[in-house]
Structure 1
């Protein structure tokens, strides 16, 4: 009987030790997972900078951040940081345009989001004034003319960084290209010249608008169509923003497809008006 009790006590001790070890393993896994997530270049990374947001802004940002990103890179603290190509010191900023130690211009970082490059909130209704300020700031420091007397490598990096900033700025400036880029980050793409997803009634409406524009005999008639397009685009902007906030990517994709058509007509209105001059 004493031996049996000793065996039961020993067995209980081993089970308790195993349980504690399991809990510690789970705790470490959760800690590592949280650590990795906090340092991943996803939508919820440092793209928002150090701005303070209102409660509504934080809720909006949280909604966008909850969407999974198809194109991103993540790493744990144990993974090596990027280093300066010149002085070999670790680069403290992401993205790093210059080394803080030697002030050398750095090459573009792979898979860096345009939102991160332009230090903009990851939102469809981003602040375009802030975007423009950031663009001017970066181009003043990265423009190739500033490196004409520098080494060939610095000239090369300044040209590639400047070109990347230009592309990021142009992509994020307009709602249509911005929305398409946001879908691209989610692994979704709207193919050019495909009408398969368009409603027949919608296509008929577009045909009538185009015909009215072709038949416009005065700048006033063309401007009236242009105002209608601006109103439709404004409405679609709100609907796309709402769809993205809810994570309804297919709905946002369909709305962006409509936006492409209306944006094309808006460009035709500008061409028509230039013809009256």
Structure 2
């Protein structure tokens, strides 16, 4: 139960104090209702003078804006209050109980079970945005595999060997997904609740003609020098559409972003065809 600190005149009799506490409690019980997502701040106080004020910090939904709410003689005011649990996910090691274990426990060096709510950007400690430095992935990926690779726990319990296989696979998949422009674009759209059908047919005649010409050039190339020249041109096109996607995504023009991904798909496949032929 939440305790309220009441500031009363020193001359007030004890029976008046009891009545005042009862009246405030009754007023709150009868005339107010708060959803289950309200938080209670035990440090909040109620000051009683000519009017009664209840600090809004004592009851505040995590996502609410600081708007005044009047309930009879009660005036709610203050700043937004939200506990750290709204922003941070606490992970407790299954083996030793260490409270800051993430993928791997630094205290007892046990591999942790996969947390499916952790996204690929969080694994690498990156901001959730499209443009990133590939070098920031490589180093962190190697660091994780030095801790999570299944070969490192072959003498441990079957449970931890299973954890190692699952965590190592997830980190590898995260690396592959974020390392390429196309898969990274599709993944960040997925995180925003947007599914992209990369197989959807494109009807833009200019793009279709350009792709046909690229494929013909790949098929007719006689040596690696020609293929590398074609790949350089295709990668430039891929980069242009990648930049267009980033701009559209940041501006939340998601329909346009989807079209950029569909075009990136064509150029990505052209690059793959060149690599196979080299």
- The TM-score, its normalising length taken from structure 1, stands at 0.69
**2:99 aligned to which of 91, 112, 118:** 91
Residues 12-66 of structure 1 show CA distances to partners (whole Å, capped at 9, x for unaligned) of x99954xx44xx348742567565586446xxx7xxxxxxxxxxxxxxxxxxxxx
Partner of 1:222: 227
The corresponding residue for 1:239 is 244
Q: Paired residue for 2:76?
A: none
Q: Find out whether 1:205 has 2:210 as its counterpart.
A: yes
Q: Look up the SS of the partner of 2:60 in the other structure.
A: helix
Three-state SS of the structure 2 residue aligned to 1:29 is strand
Aligned counterpart, 1:127: 133
Q: Secondary structure at the match of 2:95?
A: coil
> Taking CA–CA contacts closer than 8 Å with sequence separation of 6 or more, which of the two structures ends up with the larger relative contact order?
1
**1: distance between equivalents of 2:57 and 2:231?**
60
Pairing 1:163–2:172 present: no
Moved more, 138-147 or 26-35: 26-35
Distance of aligned partners of 1:146 and 1:209 in 2 relative to their CA distance in 1, 3 Å threshold: same
Q: Which has the larger radius of gyration?
A: 2
Q: Match for 1:183 among 179, 189, 193?
A: 189
Report the equivalent of 2:116: 110
Kindly provide the CA deviation profile for residues 121-173 of structure 1, in whole angstroms up to 9, marking residues without a partner as x: 32212111111000000001111111111111111111111111111111111
Distance 1:154 1:28 in 2: 43
CA distance in structure 1 between the partners assigned to 2:198 and 2:251 by the alignment: 26
Decide which of 134, 140, 144 is 2:146's aligned counterpart.
Answer: 140
Structure that is richer in strand per residue: 2
Q: CA deviation at 1:213?
A: 2.2
TM-score normalised per structure 2: 0.68
Moved more, 207-216 or 168-177: 207-216
Cα distance change, pair 32–269 in 1 and its aligned pair in 2 (3 A): closer
Distance 1:211 1:154 in 2: 51
RMSD over aligned Cα atoms: 2.8
C-alpha deviation, 1:99, in angstroms: 2.9
Decide which moves more: 185-194 or 160-169. 185-194
SS at match of 1:108: coil
Q: Which structure shows the higher helix fraction?
A: 1
- Structure 1 15/237 Cα, relative in aligned 2: closer, same or farther at 3 Å? farther
Structure 2 gaps, min length 5: 1-47, 65-79
Deviation for aligned residue 1:112: 0.6
The 1:229–1:32 alpha-carbon spacing in structure 2 relative to 1, beyond 3 Å, is closer
What's the CA shift for 1:103?
2.9
Runs of 4+ that moved beyond 6 A: none
Alpha-carbon spacing, 1:27–1:229, altered in 2? closer, same or farther (3 Å): farther
Q: 2 CA distance for matches of 1:86 and 1:207?
A: 57
- How many residues align structurally? 216
Match of 2:254 in 1: 249
